Structures are given as structure tokens and as C-alpha cells.
Amino acid sequence: MKDFFVYIDDSGSPGQPPANKFLAPDTKIWAAVILSLEEKNYIDSVIDLAIKKLQQEIPFSEFHFTEIYSAKNAFQGIDSKLRLEIVQLFVELYNSIKPYVVVIATGSGTLKNSGFSQSYKSKKENGFSFSDPSEYALNTLLLIINEYMIENYKEENIKAEIIIDEGRQKANTIQLLTDFIGIFNELNYKSSKNVYGLQFVDFIAFSINRIQNNISKNRAKFDNEFMRIIGTLQLNSNLKTISVTDLDEVNKDAVESFLESQESPSIGAIQYVEELSNCLSRIRDFILKKNTAENKEIILQDIKRLKQFSSISNEFAKFLDTTERLISDQH
């Protein structure tokens, strides 16, 4: 019997306007990290040691990344350097084992544009109301986790325990998944204070949320450094794709913002825009699986040239870095 532990947490501020104009105001991000027993024990030992060491300087009980990022509650008044060191620790912890992460984000438009009938959206299964985008997303997350486990461990005898941060239900309660057909049939609600795996997935969910939303051109120095650190996160996830729709929007926005930054577009700037559009077109084809090894090398060379131009924004530079990593990882 091979034991796995799946930790689930959410991130998002439903009802609050996101910084990213492509996200609906009620967008909620759910994230799950899948750990083997060995990985769980490793995570527990590293986080336990880090907490005990940091408690010599700060009276705190757990790593909660909303508080660490915003310097609130136990982290109020704590030097930004120390808070960034905590972020760096968790990035290095994740990158040392690269466990699989399942991510799903939903808002009101998810169900509206799904094509589902009203009767289907009125359903309630396993305690989830499909009319609530967040509840629908959590149910979908569980289905994806189940499919991933069956597909990747079909030749093995496995057992998976699903642990979710308290909120939907009180800590130390169980939600039975009576209508769920899969390798698990219950959700165990726990307090993150007592479960290091939940602190680990809190970091992952929060980081993904910030990556999705943190696109302001006027970020503070702390935010820039925070984004630089989590930009090194080597995420092993179903999120490792760029949608064609998003890419088309990036193309349009990147060209417009680039031209707006030029007092008087030069011949070099116009040539840059042309090269940019050609490169994004090739990336688009690559994502649509019209890819070859030759195309991959051409795209990577394009990106290197685009990054050398002095006037690109931090946001677009970050996009190029991310795209370069994703294309490099494709086989």
C-alpha cells in the first residue's frame, strides 16, 4: 500500500476587483498539492524546524502567507528582509521535490459560459452546491485529483487522505463524499496551525494568486522582490499552459503598452513590434501543437532577442521569462 496526502487550500477575494482585468471580481483559486508519505515527512520536518528557529525571534504559531505578505498580525512590524527570507525558504522547499499541484480558478462567468442547464447548476452533490462557483470548483478539483492519481498510479495499490483547510467546515470534522466514485470518499477539515502540509499549500495558493493579480506597473519595492522570488518557483502543475485566448490578449496589450511608452516610435521600435508579433504567433502555433524541435529553438532565440530591448516593461519581461521556461520544458 502506497500512502499519499493531498492538501487543499483556497485563495482569492470574492467580491473584490482583481488587479488582473482578465479575472472576474469573484474569482476564487483552489490549489491542491499531492505528497507521498516520504514527501509529507520531509515537508513536516523542514517547516517544523523553520518555525522553531523563527519563534526565537517572532512570537508566531504558523506560516500564513497573507499575513507574511501584508505584514499583519504576528508579522506586523517585521522587517521585510525576514519576510522575504520566509518566501525564499518555501520556494526552495517546493523546488527541492516539485510535487504535483492541481489548480482551478472559477468565477461567476465559469458556470454562465459553461453551457450547463439550469437544472444541472441547481444540483447538489457530496455537499457541494453547483450554483456556487467556488463549490463547483472544489468538486471539480477533487475530480481532477482523482483522475491524476488513477492515471499515474494505476498499477499500484494506493490510499489517499484528503486534508482541507478549515473554513467550509470546522476543524476536525469530516465531509463524506457519498456520491463520489474514486480512490477517496471523504474530506478531512483541519486547522493549518497543526498541519504543516496546509501551510505548504497556503504558500502555493497565495503565490499563484499573486502571480495572477500582481500586474501593476507601480509595484512597491517589496512587491517587486516578492515577485522576483516566486518567479523562480518551478511549478509542476496542470497550470503549466498558456491559453491561446490569453496569449492573443497579451499580444494586443504588449504591443499597445510598448508603443505608449515610446515618445516617438523609432524604426527600431517598429521593428521590435513586428518581431514581437511574429514571435507570439509562433508561440501560439506551438501551444496549438503545431510544434517541432526547430520551432522550439526559433522561439527560444526570439525570446532572447526580445528580452534585450531596453524599453520593455517589467510585466512583459516577466511574461517572456515565464514563456521561455514553459517552452524549454516542452518535449
Distance, in Å, from the CA atom of 62 to the CA atom of 64, rounded to the nearest integer, reads 6
Residue 235 is placed in which grid cell? 511549478
Give pLDDT, residue 58. Answer: 92
Give pLDDT, residue 304. Answer: 81
Q: How many CA atoms lie within 13 A of 298 on its CB side?
A: 15
Give pLDDT, residue 255. Answer: 45
Q: Give 10-residue mean pLDDT values along the chain (331 residues).
A: 94 49 63 96 98 94 94 94 96 96 77 60 76 84 89 86 94 88 88 96 91 62 87 80 42 46 44 61 64 72 75 70 76 60
Distance, in Å, from the CA atom of 58 to the CA atom of 81, rounded to the nearest integer, reads 14
What's the pTM? 0.70
Give pLDDT, residue 105. Answer: 77
Distance, in Å, from the CA atom of 22 to the CA atom of 319, rounded to the nearest integer, reads 15
Read off the DSSP letter of residue 180.
Answer: -
Give pLDDT, residue 75. Answer: 95
Q: Which secondary structure element, helix H or strand E, spans residue 293, and what is its range? A: helix 293-307
All structural domains of the chain: 2-237 (3.30.420), 244-329 (no CATH)
Give pLDDT, residue 61. Answer: 93
Give pLDDT, residue 217. Answer: 52
3-class SS of residue 182: coil
